[in-house]
Structure formats: C-alpha cells, structure tokens
Amino acid sequence: MKIEKLAGIDIGSNAVRLLVTNVITEKDEKPSFKKSALVRVPIRLGADSFIKGVISEENKIRMIKAMNAFKLLMEVHGVEKYYACATSAMRDASNGNDVINEIFEQTSVKINIIDGKKEAAIIFSTDLSDVIESDKPYLYVDVGGGSTEFTLFSNGEIVNSKSFKIGTVRLLNYSKDEALKIWEDIEIWIRENTKDLKKVALIGSGGNINKIYKLSGKQLGKPLSLIYMKAHYQFLKQMTYEQRISEMGLNPDRADVIIPATKIYINAMKWSGATKIYVPKIGLADGIVKSLYYNKL
C-alpha cells in the first residue's frame, strides 16, 4: 500500500479553501481519495474585484496571512505536492497578477490564475461516473462567486461548454439591467444547446448547492426536484439574512449568496427542461487533487 498526501488550494470570489487529501493506492486497485482536512476562509475577493476592479490592500494582507497559514498546515500534514488556483475575482482584478506575485514573495506559495474553461476541465477530472449514465444528456452547472460554468454532456461526451460572468457575489452587486442582459444570454445559450435533447438532468456543483442538498436530508446520490428547488428558494427569500444565520445555521458569508445561487440552478433547470438536479460532492479543490495525482497540472 502507498499513501500520498496532496493538496489543492481554491481561491474563489467568495472564499478561499485548502483541501488536504490522502491518496491510497494498492496493487491492481483504483486509487482511493480520502479527505484529510478542509479549511475554508471567508475572504470575499469578489466584493473588491467586481465593484472596484482591484483587490484591496486589506484583502491582500488577509490573503498573505491565509497562504502562510495554509503553507504551515501543508507542512504539518506532510503534503508532498500542491497546486493553487485563483478564479474569477483574481482574474478580473486589474492588480490580480501583482497580488499573486506579492503573495509568492511573502509566502513562497505559487498561485495560478486560471480561466473558466480550465476551471471546468479541472472539476471534470473528478469522477462523475456515479452520476452520468452514458445514454442520457446532462447539463453540468458549476456556480461560483464570480462566474458560472455550463457544460453539456450527451452520450457520455462533452458537447459544448461556456462560462458566463454571473456568479453569486456578482449578482449581489449587479444592477437590474446588467443582470437582465446576462440572464438573457444564458437563456439563449441553454435553450439553443438543449433543444434537441430529451429528459435533460442537471448536475450541480459549488458550495451553495452542496449546502442546499445537505439541508434537504436527501439520501446521497438521490436528485433534488425542480419543485423542491423552487419551494426552497421561496423559503429562503422570506427569511431575513439574520434568520438564515440563526435558524438555518448558515455561515454569514453563505447566508446572502445562497439566494442568487439557487436562482441560477432553478433558471438552468427551467430553460433546459430539467426536472431533477444531481449533487455529487465535488468541487475545484477535489479536481485539483485528482489532476495533480494524474499529472495533469
């Protein structure tokens, strides 16, 4: 038996995550990926990037502290290899490259700014075989703080994919007209790409849909229905921000973004004709670890 420790760092628009994983390999067996530790820090870079166009000095300092902490945690865990990805917020900030260069100088943690297509490709390196049936069509929707990736599968193959600048943090700050224009573009893309497909199902990923799924109490692997998603959306909307924290136990940085996230999934289901959404527990950090193991990064 061989045990390897790998780590993925996901620097998103709403939070920053470190995932440490044990990769266990035995002769003639598929590798097993076991989560050893997951640390989530609520640094909302998107609030800087999408409103001011730059990462603030305050959040830059918080990022340096977070990466120093992550570096020490990786050393304590005995991590052999890691890869750090920054997505929409760092990508869109005019000083994004300057910030990651300074972080590297201060912490020696190297951060890679990636585009939406690479982000989707890394997530797909996770195993979706438990969810995808080769003869059925699926629309994969990964909702982040700054962007949402849509990928269409048919007959087990990727048919088309597109990244849109509509994420949870962005939606909180968009004007009504800005949001309307992007909603229209997404609706056209989804309807056009799913019009010839029958019985499309959604696959949802991202912290918000994972939380919704956990709150539903559904048995792992069973999908949520469009009816449930709509009812849950109305339930969330009628509560105050404070009630979502105190009564539902949501983190303060989750209690506001969960509503726009739910709306994205509901609209994607509506426009694709999907009545079910599957929620495998996968994300960018999981994809990073698997991509590292298979030498794809």
pLDDT per residue over 127-165, tens digit each? 666 667 778 899 999 999 999 999 998 887 888 989 999
Q: Which CATH number is 164's domain given?
A: 3.30.420.150
In this structure, are 85 and 183 located in the same domain?
A: no
Higher per-residue confidence, 47 vs 230: 230
**Tokens matching residue 61:** 């300092």
In this structure, are 179 and 252 located in the same domain?
A: yes
In this structure, are 146 and 72 located in the same domain?
A: no
In this structure, are 275 and 142 located in the same domain?
A: yes
The whole-angstrom separation of Cα 297 and Cα 294 is 8
pLDDT at 135: 81
Confidence of residue 1 (pLDDT cuts 50, 70, 90): confident
Q: Is residue 122 over pLDDT 90? A: no
In this structure, are 135 and 88 located in the same domain?
A: no
Whether 122 maps to a domain, the answer reads no
Read off the DSSP letter of residue 79: -
Q: What is the pLDDT of residues 32-77, one digit of tens each?
A: 999 999 999 999 999 999 999 999 999 999 999 999 999 999 999 9
Who contacts 99 (Cβ-Cβ below 8 Å, separation ≥6)? 55, 60, 63, 90, 93
Q: Which CATH number is 47's domain given?
A: 3.30.420.40
Confidence of residue 289 (pLDDT cuts 50, 70, 90): very high
* Tokens 């998103």, located at residue: 12
pLDDT at 94: 97
Burial category of 90 from C-beta neighbours within 10 Å (exposed 0-12, middle 13-18, buried 19 and up): buried
Confidence of residue 86 (pLDDT cuts 50, 70, 90): very high
pLDDT at 159: 87
pLDDT at 133: 76
In this structure, are 275 and 193 located in the same domain?
A: yes
In this structure, are 261 and 197 located in the same domain?
A: yes
Q: Is residue 297 over pLDDT 70? A: yes
Residue 98 corresponds to which amino acid?
D
In this structure, are 131 and 241 located in the same domain?
A: yes
pLDDT at 283: 83
Per the document, the length of the chain is 297
In this structure, are 136 and 253 located in the same domain?
A: yes
In this structure, are 150 and 198 located in the same domain?
A: yes
Tell me how many domains the chain contains: 2
pLDDT at 129: 62
Q: Is 95 helix (H, G, I), strand (E, B) or coil?
A: coil
Q: What is the pLDDT of residues 166-219, one digit of tens each?
A: 999 999 989 889 999 999 999 999 999 999 998 999 999 989 999 999 999 998
Whether 218 maps to a domain, the answer reads yes
Evaluate if pTM is beyond 0.95.
no
In this structure, are 113 and 131 located in the same domain?
A: no
Whether 16 maps to a domain, the answer reads yes
Q: Are 216 and 231 in contact (CB under 8 A)?
A: no
pLDDT at 40: 95
Average pLDDT over residues 223-252: 96
Q: Quickly list DSSP for 190-259.
A: HHHHHTT-SS-EEEEESHHHHHHHHHHTPPTTPPEEHHHHHHHHHHHHTS-HHHHHHTT---HHHHTTHH
Spatial CA neighbour of 169 closest among 280, 3, 12: 12
Q: What is the pLDDT of residues 9-27, one digit of tens each?
A: 999 999 999 999 999 999 8
For residue 67, give its domain range: 2-117+285-293
The whole-angstrom separation of Cα 239 and Cα 91 is 33
Burial category of 249 from C-beta neighbours within 10 Å (exposed 0-12, middle 13-18, buried 19 and up): exposed
In this structure, are 108 and 157 located in the same domain?
A: no
